[in-house]
Amino acid sequence: MILPIQQVEFGIPITLEAQPDLSNIEQFYRHGCGNFWVAEVDGQVVGTIALLDISNNEAALRKMFVAAPFRGREFGIAQSLLSKLVAWAALHGVASIYLGTTAKFLAAHRFYEKNGFAEVAKSTLPQTFPVMSVDTKFYRLSLSANAA
């Protein structure tokens, strides 16, 4: 589901080989505060989201994708996935969630901003944040009043 969105819909020249996390979700995401979720409709995966533990009570939001026919407020899939991830992160002591995205995902920018993410400069990202080659915009969500 993810590759066609990246390659066909948004014209991003990325391969499965360039995303080794997708070949080993259990080992890559499910440690520390990390996890990986899918949304299904009638047994078909229509959405994904992941939280990657990057240490120091910080995490990276990764692999948030919703299949085109299931996007929008009427389905609520993206909101449900993000709400699940944020609740999980808060329960596991995460103070800040960071994400990187491409300039092409304009609807995603609005969605993240509506959900409390603030744009940050690349230079302010934690050293452990995994910057992808296609990432040009970066966001942070503070889950703690004491977060730096």
Please report the domains of the chain, with CATH numbers, ordered by start residue: 2-142 (3.40.630.30)
Rounded distance between C-alpha atoms, residue 146 and residue 148, angstroms: 6
Mean pLDDT calculated for residue range 30-38: 96
Q: Can you list the positions of beta strands (E) in 67-128?
A: 96-101, 118-120
The model's pTM: 0.91
The pLDDT assigned to 11 comes to 85
Token pair of 2 as six digits: 């993810």
**In this predicted structure, what is the pLDDT of residue 12?**
84
Q: Which pLDDT band, with edges at 50, 70 and 90, does 148 fall under?
A: very low
Name the average pLDDT for the chain: 93
**At 37, is the secondary structure helix, strand, or coil?**
strand
Model confidence at 96: pLDDT above 60:
yes
| Mean per-residue pLDDT, 16-39 | 94
Report the pLDDT value the prediction gives residue 14, as an integer from 0 to 100.
86
Which phi and psi angles does 58 have, rounded to 5°?
Answer: -125, 150
Residue 146 is predicted with a pLDDT of 44
Please tell me the total number of residues recorded for the chain in this structure. Answer: 148
